[in-house]
Structures are given as C-alpha cells and as structure tokens.
Amino acid sequence: MTKFLSPLFLFIGIVIYSQTQLKVLNRTSRQPVYNAAVYCDDNLLGKTDQEGRLSFKTKCKKIEILASNFEDATADVKKTVEVSLLPLSEKRDNIERIVITDKSDPRALRILDELDKRARENSPKSLDTYNFKSYSKFSIDVDKDSVGIFKDFIASRKDSLSKDEKRTFKQKESEKKDSLLSEDFTSASAESQMFLWEKATEYKYSKKFGEKTNIIDNRMSGFKNPIYEAMAINISNLDRAPRQLRPENRKLYNFYMSDTLQVEGRKTYVIKFKEITDKKKQNPRKFNGKIYVDAESFALKKFESTSKKQNEGNIVSVWKPIDKKWFLDYEDIKVKMGEQTFNTSKKDSLKEGEKAKYNKKEFGNYLYVKNRFFDFKLNEDQKASDFKGYSLEVKSSDGSLLQQYRTDSLTERESATYTKIDSFVVKHDFEKKLNFLTQLLRGNLRYKMIDFDLTKFLSYDQYQGIRLGAGIKLNEKFSKTFSPDGYFGYGFKDSRWKYGLGLDIRLSDRRTSVFRIDYVDDVFAAGRFSNMMWDLLMKVSDIGLDIHNGAFYRNRKWGASYLYDLSNSLSMKVTVNKEKQQALFDYRYRNLGNAFDNASATLSLKFAPNDKNIMTPSGKYTYEKGYPQVFMNFEKGAEILGGDLNYHRLDALIIHQFRTKIGSTNIKLFGGLSSGTAPIWKNFEIAGQADRNTDHWYSNISTPSNLGFATMPAGTFFADRFTAFKVSQYLPFRFKTFGSRYSSIELEYQGAIGNMKNRTDHQFEFRVLDHYYQEAGLIWNRFLGSNFGVGFSYRLGYYQTSQFKDNVGIRIKLNLMR
C-alpha cells in the first residue's frame, strides 16, 4: 500500500507545485476577495475561493484580475502571486457595470446602422472620377522589438553549432536536406527580414469607363519574375468595410458606445467592440477594437482591431475627407504567422551515453503591411484609352521606380533582404514551388512544363460509374505560342475508354486571343445546359450533377474555335464542329434512328462588367469576381458537310448577387429555346438530381449545383423551350457550434416551366415540364463546425406527390472556399 501511495502523493505534489498559487486581497481591509475572475488574454483561468485563493496553470506571462466593486489589476505569473485590489467608488462602479453588459449598446447600433446607410454617399465611388496612388510594403520578420535579441541569439547559436561540427551522428538524407534548408534560411534572416515586397500602384475610377489599377513598379524579394496572381492581393480595407462592421457579422460582436471626441476638429463617436465567444469565460472588459465614426457625415474615420490573444496582431486603418468623400489615408497591419523554435542545450558537454536535454527558445514571425495613399485627384477628365485592357496591369517589376514613391527610406535590415533572401530563394528554387501553388488556383497541378487538370482525375455518373482519368497540357514553359493538350478517361461501368486531343495557338500576350483545334471521343449527358464560358469554380460545382443520371450519348467531334476578349468585361468564342453522335440509352428520333452526323457553328458570349482581371504568362486570371454575369450561347446546325440536322439552339444565364439588410442574395435566371430537326440532346433536360430508378436510402442524396433541382428525378424532364430561376439567400448572421468555424444558413427557392412542341418525335420514356415545378430548401453551411454543408429541399406545387420520400432531396457539399 505504501509503495502505491508514495508515487501517488509525489504525482499530486508535482501537479500542485507546478501550478501558480494566487491570493487576492482587498487593499484597504486586507480581507480575501471572493469570486475574483482571473484571465489569460480573453480566457478565464478560474475564480478565487472564500479565502481569495486560486491555483491555475498557464503559459501566459501576465494575468488580469477582475472583481465586482474593485479596480482591475494585472500581475506577472510566478509560482506564488499576491494581488491587492483597490475598491471602486459608487460612481465608477456604475460605469463599469454598463461597460461589461453582455449585449450591444442600442446607441452604438444606431450609429453603425447610419454608417451602413450612408456608406454609398460617403464612398469615393459616388464621384464622377478620381485617381490616386499608393505605396505598399509587405514584410515578414520577427517582432520588431525582438530583432536585437534575435540577431544575438542566432550569432551565438551559429558559434555553438560550429563547435559541434566534429560530432558524428547518423541522419536521413531528407532530414539533412531539411536541416540545411533551415540553417540557410536562419542565417539569411539574421541580418535581413524573411520577406520583403514593395509595390507602387495607381488607382483610376470613372463612372463612364469603370476601374483601372496600374502597378507602376514592384519588387518582391527572392523572385526575378513577377508573381502576377499575388499582384492582385489587396490586404487593405480600400474598397470594403472591415468584416466586423458587415451586417451579416453583427451578431458575432457586441458594440458599446465609449466616448465622443474631437478628432482633427471634427466631432467623432468612439465605439468599442468585442467578439462574442463563451460569455461565461470571456474577459468582460477586454475589447477587440475601436470604431471611430464622424458625427457629421457618419463616415468611418478610423478602425482599430486587436487579436483576442496577446501579441497575435492588430490593424489600424484611417480615412480622411476630401471634397466630402472619405478616402483611405493610411493603414498598418501586423499579423502573427507562426514562430521559430530553437532547442538550446542545457549542458555544454555531455558524458558518453548521456542524452542531451534542451530548453526551447521561441521567436514569433509576423506579417507587417504598410499602406500609404497620396496624390488624390477628383473629378478630372479621364481618357477612354486609359481604361483599355484588363482592370489590372503591371507596368514595371524591376523596382527601379520605387524610390520615387517610398514614404520613408528602407532600413538597413530591409535593404539587406533583397540580397540575402534573393540568393536563398534562387539556391532552393522556391520560385518553381510558388508557381505550383498559383496554378492550383486555376485547377492545375504543375510539374515543370506540364499542367495536370484536377477535374479529370475522378468523376461518377450512372452511365459510366466510377470514371478515372487524367488530363495534361503543355504550358508556357514549353512554348509561349503553342500549347498541346490531351486527356483520357475510363468508365468502369460501361468499360469504355474516352479521350480528347487539342492544340491552343496563342495570338496575343496582352489579352486572350486563342485559336484552337481539337478532336474528342467521349460521352455526355443528354440535354445539358451549356457551360461554354463558365469559370473553373462554376464547372467544379457541377461535377456531381449526373450522379443519378444515365441518359448519355457518344460524341466523336472534330472542332475549331477562336476565343477573344473584346474588353475586360466582354468575351466571345466562335466554334465550328463536325460530329458523329449516337444515343447510349433506349432512344429513337422520328424515323431517323439514334445516330446522326452533325455540322454546327456556335457563338458564345460572356459579359461580366464588374470582373477584375489580370493577364499572366498562363493566360487571363480573374482575381475578383463581380456581378452581374451574363452567359449566352447560340448554336446553328446545318445540313452541310454531310450533316443530318437543321436546328437552332439558344440558351442564356444571368447571375446577380447583392447584399441587403436581410443578408447576401444570389439570383440565377436561365432558359433556353430549341427548334428544327434536333435530337433530344440538342434540347434541354431540366437538370434533375434524384434517382428515379431505385428506392435505396441514398437515391435522394445529391451535391449542390448551379442549376440542378434536388427533388427532381434525373434524366426525366425535357423541353424544347423553358425558363427557370433560382434564389439563394444567405441569412445575415453566423454562429458557432463546435470548433472555431462559423456556420451560416442558406435558404433556397427555385422553379421552372417549359414545353415540348413535338414530343412524339422523341421515342423514349420522358416527361414534358409543361407545369410549374418548384422546390424550397435550406442548407446549413459548415455543419456543426465541419467542412461540410448539409441541406434538404422539398418539392411543392403541381408535381408534389403523396409520398414524402418522393418530395425530399438531401444535399451534401464540401465547403472549400467559404
């Protein structure tokens, strides 16, 4: 028994004495203070007992002590701590009680409502024209207050390591490589920052011509060639309100009226805010930031935000009025980006067989962003020629012009970054690794001159079953003009190979101008709505559209096309095809059978007036998607070159998204018209996503899509003319369940109606959508804090049946971008 109790008592003793022992007293009476709350940053460590004592364990170096009717106090963390609290006066006590209430101050909310209401009126974009310039500096370094300590530590560590070079030890090749890489980087960053990027930018705006951003010059440490995708990164509140002020986030924070000040001669309201997490554990007097609102115009004057954890980061943004419009004046951002941890030996020498013991030395790494705005010019005449091309253009990237725009000189440490880090990046070939990451934004895996298409690896539908394959394209490293590509796929259910080959010929390096020829032997879903000009994310959203659909046809096609951007907003594609098409399901068209030769030409247009694009060596990149967006395709089939079909096919899609007090609204309006001699796949299947052939539990499960109906049986409803719409409403609040992720609720409603003029021409089992089809649904995004969204839809109206399972559709989606 004694043998058992001895280690138990030893363990308890270690636990107790490794904790901090705190005692809180009344400074006046020297009596213990009961129920005093002790916080580390914004986390409650515990409350004192009747004797004013609390034992706790924390990594914080400082704690904060709060108690009713006492002034707040802070203390350094030691093994034993005694803190004396000063009692509050009655007047001060009343003020504190108001501040720590767990709901927003109505006065603060009224001011924020007025700020939101007048946002457009105060915005520079209510002017006819403006232009201004900016200087931005992005850097990654240790905490500026720790630079001297860091340099001394690295120097002494380097000396220590050089003494140990004679020691022999076994090390894997990969570990040795990582170790050398780490040491090279540590040596480089001892005398310089870890990263430095400077950028001088010109912003132009015209109500008539739109927006234009010119990168006057920039230089990024380590990279000889510009990283065009990074050029578009705007780490500032230039065109948008801070996220804490957006209506959909209003329920995530409490806002308190704090003060009224004179700032630069103008009456200014000061509002404090704090993020709502666990109210029982939150420090009631620790705020996340301040909002300064001009009392006359109700414009945002200043915004300050501090992270919940100490030394994790902060943001300060300041606006100034020019001709009664509020422009961003300057901005400073500091964000913690991990830390460097070093093991330091406790002993200089070790006996044979003795294991080394280490202490840890940590240095935080921070991203520093400095934005300065100047040279404002308002309501001056703008030339149309200044707005030609894409919305963002890079004029220079060698850094030679930056000195003209720097608002202060580079420090010795900053200047050294361009030499130290440049050689480090070149040595370890980091430019290739960064290019690999930027290609992921386009849906490609890049290896040297080959891009692998991520959308070609895996898919599933009811006709092919699981389909495995690959798609490759030779990129600009192979040739800036010619880009061959190809793909293949194999369906395990139909046991057939599919493939395609093509060649892009790039005719301009300033805008999209591409001539293409290709050959395809593949299978496609019958009656699918055209996605010719859709972007990658829209196409990816429809990957699961045909999970329950088996109505496919084979298409062997020779084609040629020309894709051209008429402007930043308008794109055009002209396509001519010669095809051999055959139904792969039980189908006959008139008395012509189920296989046809087809010759056709198609004109496709995309109009996106608010998209922001930049031209890169890999082609156009849309760095900011704007609304509305309009897509249109007109296809003409003719009895020429051996073609059997003579038809017209037109489809159009309009997408608009906007924000109101009730949240973010997304509206899709779409429809199509087909006429002439056209088999069923040249008409339209109203994209159903439920399984009509089985009663399995999974038959009503689908993935969200752009235009699909979750409750509609797949491959069932067809039309030669139809119109439809879909409304998605994101409710203006977010909430937490488990973990750190915020969930949101999305409501959906969609409907469609159509007709089929000559339905008897198409001999197979289908239904005509000649009555209004409608369904309503709900999606819980980030379900229970996970990466998945879960939702359901319910069929309403004419097509509703008495069977509940027939009317219900379940949707599961993977949240990657939201």
Which has more confidence, 813 or 165? 813
- For residue 721, pLDDT over 50 is answered with yes
Return the minimum-mean-pLDDT range out of 295-299, 512-516, 620-624: 620-624
Long-range interactions of 40-47: CB distance < 8 A, separation 24+ = 40/64, 41/283, 41/286, 41/308, 41/309, 41/310, 42/277, 42/282, 42/283, 42/286, 42/308, 42/309, 43/281, 43/283, 44/280, 44/281, 44/282, 44/283
Pairing mode, if any, of strands 450-453 and 444-447?
Answer: antiparallel
Beta strand segments in 280-324, E: 289-294, 300-306, 313-322
pLDDT of residue 90: 46
Please tell me the number of Cα atoms within 13 Å of 171 on its side-chain side.
11
What is the per-residue pLDDT across 750-779, written as a single tens digit (0 to 9) for each? Answer: 999 999 998 999 999 999 999 999 999 999
CB atoms within 10 A of CB 139: 20
- For residue 259, pLDDT over 90 is answered with no
pLDDT of residue 10: 40
Three-state SS across 155-184? HHHHHHHHHHHHCCCCCCHHHHHHHHHHHH
Tell the burial category of 446 from Cβ atoms under 10 Å away from its Cβ (0-12, 13-18, 19+).
buried
What is the per-residue pLDDT across 379-389, written as a single tens digit (0 to 9) for each? Answer: 999 999 999 99
What is the per-residue pLDDT across 188-199, written as a single tens digit (0 to 9) for each? Answer: 677 788 888 999
- State both tokens at 492: 């395990």
Nearest CA-CA partner of 363 in 337, 399, 334, 401: 337
- For residue 28, pLDDT over 60 is answered with yes
Which has more confidence, 248 or 591? 591
Q: Which CATH number is 12-99 given? A: 2.60.40.1120
Q: What is the dihedral of CA 562, 567, 568, 574, to 10 degrees?
A: -20
Report how far residue 63's alpha carbon sits from residue 40's, in angstroms, rounded to the nearest whole number.
5
Is the pTM of the predicted complex or chain greater than 0.75? yes
Portion of the chain with pLDDT greater than 70, in percent: 85
3-state secondary structure of 148: helix
Which has more confidence, 108 or 286? 108
Quick one: average pLDDT of 233-260? Answer: 80
Quick one: average pLDDT of 379-400? Answer: 90
- For residue 580, pLDDT over 50 is answered with yes
pLDDT of residue 169: 45
Domain boundaries, the chain: 12-99, 114-161+181-347+358-428, 522-550+616-814
Buried b (16+ CB within 10 A) or exposed e, 252-273: bbbbbbbeeeeeeeeebbbbbb
3-state secondary structure of 290: strand
What is the per-residue pLDDT across 493-515, written as a single tens digit (0 to 9) for each? Answer: 999 999 999 999 999 989 999 99
Portion of the chain with pLDDT greater than 90, in percent: 48
In whole angstroms, what separates CA 113 from the centre of its chain? 27
What is the per-residue pLDDT across 440-456, written as a single tens digit (0 to 9) for each? Answer: 878 888 888 999 999 99
- For residue 17, pLDDT over 60 is answered with no
